[in-house]
Amino acid sequence: MRNNRLAALPLVALLPLAGAAHAEEAPRALRFNQSGFEANGPKRAVLADPSAQPLDWTLLDAKGGVVLRGKTRVFGDDAASGEHVHQIDFSSFRRAGDGYRLKVGDAESRPFALRAKPDGKLTRASLSFFYQQRASIPIEARFVERPDLARPAGHAPDKATCFDKADERGQVWPGCGYTLDASRGWYDAGDHGKYVVNGGVSVWTLVNAYERAAVLKRKAALKAVGDGALALPERSNRVPDLLDEARYELAFLLSMQVPDGQTLQVPIGKQNPVDGKLPLTPVDASGMAHQKIADDQWTTIPTAPAEDKRPRYLYYPTTSATLNLAAVAAQAARVWKTIDPAFAARCLAAARRAYAAAVRNPEIYALGAFAGSGGYGDGNLTDEFYWAAAELYATTGEDAYAQALRASPLFLAGPTAGDRPTGDISWSSVGALGGVTLALAPNGLKPAEIAKLRANLLASADSHLADGQTQGYALPYAPKGYPWGSNASVLNRAIILGVAYDLTGKAAYRTGALDALDYVLGRNPLDRSYVSGFGPRAMRNPHHRFWAREANPAYPAPPSGVLSGGPNSTDMDDPIARDMKGQCHPQTCWTDDYRAFTQNEVAINWNAPLAWVSIFLDDTAR
């Protein structure tokens, strides 16, 4: 979740748009994955219809011939969508081809394809997002799908010293006596900030997708992300392209570590401002990680990275950022050990320093009221300590990290199962990442401990499948309200389902992961694909400072493969969402509008699970 970006919008952006969007295809009553289906896999659609009785449906081929018949399953009233829905399952039909259509009474679907084999398009497009979010280098036309997506380098170099001005409360921060070169890395979302906390969960997700394939010896997945598979400057360097992309962000994360011998004044503990000010305490900040590097004020939309002339600062180091660095640097040390031993050694040294610094300074929270960047404040760091210890233990096998693991209340828990569940994966809930690593990567935990951890992961996956049974649109997700970035929440559950499939081979877990992707790609009450370029009603107008054609035709529309944050019924604080409060059901609180930053922003921690799930589903397709 990011800060309110109303200040980022120029006055004209608060007025109704006139003629900014061209006509698009109308929504249909039959909803399904708009990118098509696996010929040999599950195939489900949802129909919004008031009938209380099952309805006859037919599957037509490209010539209009009936190839399959059946009856709908009446789900009934669905609270999340506000609709009365029927479900259609035509998985038994497996003939690959184009131009198929579903028909129920007068309702007829768009034509769709059944693919005999995965085409890899979503994997490549979702990973290209990260290249196009890179800072400090030009985005070259030869690596993107359209010439207008190329752009000059932004923030090259990206050097800054610590923030030493007044924040929004009027508190003047003391700054520091050094400057860091924080070049490279990915712009976090629709703005030009770069955040260690969100970078951590995003890097872990991408690197885990590779580590999963390597540990399980999944040749198809390794090929899909291998050297030369993606459009990157680093291709043909004998390193898997997915790791090249992740390393670009790791370079930024490593650069955010405080040099040795530095004493900084920071807020300690869960304090509230006193007369608008936070009491600051000097601490040995050596080895900690700065929370972020970002502008001092929000820039307007549109603003290409190279056009951003705002002053940039490092913002004070936090325990959460430091533990994110410790975790992903330890993960990288393990994965790069044979690929680049020198880089792996550098990562491990940084991870050790960061973990020691976090143990020394366990309660430095993100509390500052800084304009121009998201806060990523997190008041519970139990999960970050557990995650970092898990990654360091999996990499080193050292007893000190094992002791920290066993002392954690999250030890061996799954997201929704165990003595104290970790919670679903998000930037502020990372305990499950440690669990997935310990369940996958070879380590020295006792066999009984590994068995308990895996049982809790499977129990969590079972609860996700059970949630799917309660939803009209059959997605493995059943909150009362949809939060900011709900599409990523859905896909992060698909990761747990994917892990469960890898542990058991049980087809239901893979089907649940596919249900999550089907929802994101069109099986939802808005009949929307939330991924740009995938489907006839795909998202086109994200909240983004460069992909901003809706705001200014001189700027490009988004590339393919960009995931919208999705429906948000719980934090409706933007010019579009405010007018929807109380007027929309949870799954329908979304608008394809660049001003709707609570609903239609994009972010690295949202595209990362999209890529993981796409890689997994392609790899396990029959």
Percent of the chain with pLDDT over 70: 96
Q: Within this chain, do residues 71 and 148 fall inside the same structural domain, yes or no?
A: no
Q: pLDDT grade, residue 297 (50/70/90)? A: very high
Q: Same domain, yes or no, for 131 and 102?
A: no
Query: Which residue, chain included where needed, has tokens 């380098």?
Result: 153
Rounded Cα–Cα distance for residues 228 and 226 (Å) = 6
In tens, the pLDDT along 143-177 reads 999 999 999 999 999 999 999 999 999 999 999 99
Name which of 249, 325, 242 is nearest 612 in CA terms: 242
Q: Per residue in 409-446, pLDDT tens?
A: 999 999 999 989 999 999 999 999 999 999 999 999 99
Query: Which are the contacts of 150, defined by CB distance < 8 A and separation ≥ 6?
Result: 138, 139, 140, 141, 144
Tell me the catalytic residues.
191, 543, 592, 601
55 and 133 housed in the same domain? no
Mean pLDDT value across residues 356-383:
96
CA–CA gap between residue 587 and residue 24 (Å, rounded):
21
Examine the domain organization and report whether 198 and 309 are in the same domain: yes
Looking at residues 583-598, what average pLDDT do you find?
Answer: 98
Instruction: Give the pLDDT of residue 276.
Output: 80
Q: Does 94 fall in a domain? A: yes
Q: Contact 401/391 with Cβ under 8 angstroms?
A: no
Query: CA 533, CA 17: separation in Å to the nearest integer?
Result: 23
SS3 readout for 574-592: CCCHHHHCCCCCHHHCCCC
**The pLDDT of residue 5 is above 80:** no
Q: Is residue 249 part of a domain?
A: yes
Buried b (16+ CB within 10 A) or exposed e, 519-537: bbbbbbbbbbbbbbbbbeb
CATH number at residue 275: 1.50.10.10
Same domain, 110 and 229: no
The whole-number average pLDDT for the span 191-205 is: 98
Could you give the C-alpha distances from 599 to 472, 483, 557, 571, in angstroms and in order? 22, 9, 17, 9
If one compares 187 and 273, the residue with the highest pLDDT of the two is 187
The reported pLDDT for the residue numbered 275 is 80
Helix (H), strand (E) at residue 73: strand 73-78
pTM for this structure? Answer: 0.97
19, pLDDT greater than 70 = no
Residues 224 and 249 reside in one and the same domain = yes
Q: How confident is the model at residue 22 (pLDDT cuts 50, 70, 90)?
A: low
Does 137 fall in a domain?
A: yes
Most distant CA pair in the chain, distance: 76
Cβ atoms of 345 and 217 closer than 8 Å: no
Which of 115, 150, 182 lies at the terminal end of a domain, its last residue? 115
| Cα–Cα dist 290/182, whole Å | 10
pLDDT for 274 equals 79
Pair 96, 147 in one domain: no
- Length of the chain, please? 622
Residues 96 and 126 in one domain: no
- Whether residue 596 lies inside any domain: the answer is no
Rounded Cα gap, residues 304 and 191, in angstroms: 10
> What confidence score (pLDDT) does residue 272 get?
84
The pLDDT of residue 2: 52
Nearest to 201 by CA among 186, 217, 181, 214: 186
315-322 mean pLDDT:
98
16 has a pLDDT exceeding 80: no
Structure tokens at 549: 């054609």
pLDDT of 111 above 50: yes
Amino acid at 297: Q
Helix (H, G, I), strand (E, B) or coil at 543: strand
pLDDT, average across residues 328-332: 99
> Which H or E element spans position 104?
strand 97-104
**606, 516, 512, 620: which is closest to 201 by C-alpha?**
606
* pLDDT category of residue 6 using cuts at 50, 70 and 90: very low
Do residues 270 and 365 make contact, with C-beta atoms less than 8 angstroms apart? yes
pLDDT at 3 over 60: no
Question: With b meaning 16 or more CB within 10 Å and e meaning fewer, what string describes 477-502?
Answer: beeeebbbbbbbbbbbbbbbbbbbbb
d(CA 605, CA 609): 7
| Residue numbers of the domain that contains 248 | 121-521+604-620
Shared domain for 165 and 204, answered yes or no, is yes
Tell me: do 172 and 300 sit in the same domain. yes
- Residue 368: predicted pLDDT: 85
Whether 153 and 136 have beta carbons less than 8 Å apart is answered as: yes
Contact 540, 501 (CB under 8 A): no
Which region holds residue 412: left if phi is over 0, alpha if psi is between -120 and 50, else beta? left
CATH code, domain with 85: 2.60.40.10
Are the C-beta atoms of residues 335 and 212 closer than 8 Å to each other?
no
Q: What is the pLDDT of residues 563-573, one digit of tens each?
A: 999 999 999 99
Radius of gyration of the chain (CA): 24
Would 409 be classed as within a structural domain? yes
In a domain, 442, yes or no: yes
Examine the domain organization and report whether 399 and 336 are in the same domain. yes
Residue 261: burial class (beta carbons within 10 Å; 0-12, 13-18, 19+): exposed
Decide if pLDDT at 10 tops 60: no
The pLDDT confidence band at residue 493, using thresholds 50, 70 and 90, is: very high
Looking at the structure of the chain, the number of domains it has is 2
What whole-number percentage of the chain has pLDDT above 90? 95
Of the residues 91, 115, 139, which one is the last residue of a structural domain? 115
* Residues 202, 216 within the same domain: yes
Compute the CA torsion angle 255, 259, 265, 268 (nearest 10 deg).
Answer: 70
Question: Among 60, 92, 115, which residue terminates a domain?
Answer: 115
Is 268 among the domain residues? Answer: yes
d(CA 171, CA 315): 14
Query: Residue 88 in contact with residue 57, Cβ under 8 Å?
Result: yes
How does DSSP assign 10-34, residue by residue?
A: -GGGGSPPSS-S---PPP-SEE--T
Examine residue 512 and state whether it is found in any structural domain, yes or no.
Answer: yes
